[in-house]
Amino acid sequence: NAGVMQNPRHLVRRRGQEARLRCSPMKGHSHVYWYRQLPEEGLKFMVYLQKENIIDESGMPKERFSAEFPKEGPSILRIQQVVRGDSAAYFCASSQSQDQPQHFGDGTRLSIL
Amino acid sequence: QKEVEQDPGPLSVPEGAIVSLNCTYSNSAFQYFMWYRQYSRKGPELLMYTYSSGNKEDGRFTAQVDKSSKYISLFIRDSQPSDSATYLCAMSLLIQGAQKLVFGQGTRLTINP
């Protein structure tokens, strides 16, 4: 499967723990985007990264959230000290270049107990 | 006012019917227009991608963009039960090298056999 791969598909954390979500873009894609989908709401942009660089993080909450896309390995979305309101589906998308369409993975569903 | 408005439905039609899905938007600077299909517990799947006014056809799907009215549509001909899903419109513009998508809320469509 050459599509966008996200893992884990489901993640359960207790309040105060850390959540790490991983995303491997499609082969040949160097642009990665993270979106969040809250229950009964549309997808909302969080952050846009290229290899080793954060290009736009205007949709990221100011605290507890961070993202990286290292030279080797997948992109990581990290949520520290999770709270109930972080429960959502987190989707990663990738594209070949800035003006090409974005293709999505099947998401990570995060549940906070 | 939301940047992108989409009737959430639900919309239920008989098999074989023509389906019309619509979105309006307020930001006249949007350059790219997309339709995604999302099955339950899966990621959005790109159906149509266009950047100009007019019609674009792909099999049973036709995307229509009217920039003067800030209105986009997706038509599905000869609808099938397998078309039952949530349809998301999305649009974007390039700002400082970043293309972040703005999504509608999604329309839940059911095709009845």
How many Cβ atoms from other residues are within 10 Å of residue A28's Cβ?
8
Residues of B numbered 40-59 whose beta carbons fall under 8 angstroms of chain A's beta carbons: which are they?
Answer: 41-46, 49
pLDDT tens digits, one per residue of A71-111: 999 999 999 999 999 999 999 999 998 888 999 999 999 99
- Chain A residues closer than 8 Å to B97 by CB: 55, 98
How many Cβ atoms from other residues are within 10 Å of residue A45's Cβ?
22
At A93 the pLDDT is 97
Which candidate, B72, B63, B73, B76, places its Cα nearest to that of B110?
Answer: B76
At B13 the pLDDT is 96
At A83 the pLDDT is 96
Facing A42 at nearest CB: one of B94, B98, B106 = B106
pLDDT tens digits, one per residue of A95-104: 998 888 999 9
Helix (H, G, I), strand (E, B) or coil at B51: coil
Q: Pick the residue with more confidence: B96 or A60? A: A60
A-B contacts (CB, under 8 Å): 65
Burial of B95-112, coded b for 16+ CB within 10 Å and e otherwise, reads eeebbbbbbbbbbbbebe
In the predicted model, residues of chain B with pLDDT beneath 50 are none
At B95 the pLDDT is 78
At A61 the pLDDT is 94
Which candidate, A34, A31, A1, places its Cα nearest to that of A96?
Answer: A31
- Chain A residues closer than 8 Å to B99 by CB: 48, 95, 98-99, 102
| Whether residue A1 has pLDDT greater than 70 | no
Asked if B74 contacts B66 with a C-beta cutoff of 8 angstroms, the reply is no
pLDDT tens digits, one per residue of A28-52: 999 999 999 987 788 999 999 998 8
What tokens does B84 get? 């039952």
